[in-house]
Chain A
Amino acid sequence: DAGVIQSPRHEVTEMGQEVTLRCKPISGHDYLFWYRQTMMRGLELLIYFNNNVPIDDSGMPEDRFSAKMPNASFSTLKIQPSEPRDSAVYFCASSLTEKYLRGQYFGPGTRLTVT
């Protein structure tokens, strides 16, 4: 399996622009997670889905952030409008079960820079 695939790997955009990050989970996995990594706060869970349905979005920082999972093999995280403080590495992860007996599988991340 190719693992979790994220695109783009790097994104540089200007403040106020819309940003869309994409994720393809591992085939057969029924949980998908979006995380944000910053120096100050480490890895923070933004939202997670089970069978394409959002379960917990309490980590989404503001209404500017939205996430969708239209099917089992694709998810997007959108920021509109983007702000410099959104600059971070965004990770997507998937797992076969919510019971993290062997952990989640992470993608390589998208490094977002908002100028």
Chain B
Amino acid sequence: SQQGEEDPQALSIQEGENATMNCSYKTSINNLQWYRQNSGRGLVHLILIRSNEREKHSGRLRVTLDTSKKSSSLLITASRAADTASYFCATDGGSQGNLIFGKGTKLSVKP
């Protein structure tokens, strides 16, 4: 079963605009991670935020975490065509002690 649910499912923007993706989850977590996947390839880790952190930055990425609302957001600023990919959140709330991934947000950045 899915723990994280990303919203929106798909997002299309122009180069230079900002892209915001949201993730909601169901159970308590110790950390939440964001990954990127280019079409048909493996996932690449972007950022990890711990449950006691509220915001984290990495280059053009900004992640926020609200544990009271069980939600996180990923902001990509000044997007580029190369940011076109699917973005997944993953939490450590799996019943088998595993990471659980959402179904992802498909981002398309048009040049």
Indicate whether A and B interact.
Answer: no
Footprint of A on B, CB under 8 Å? none
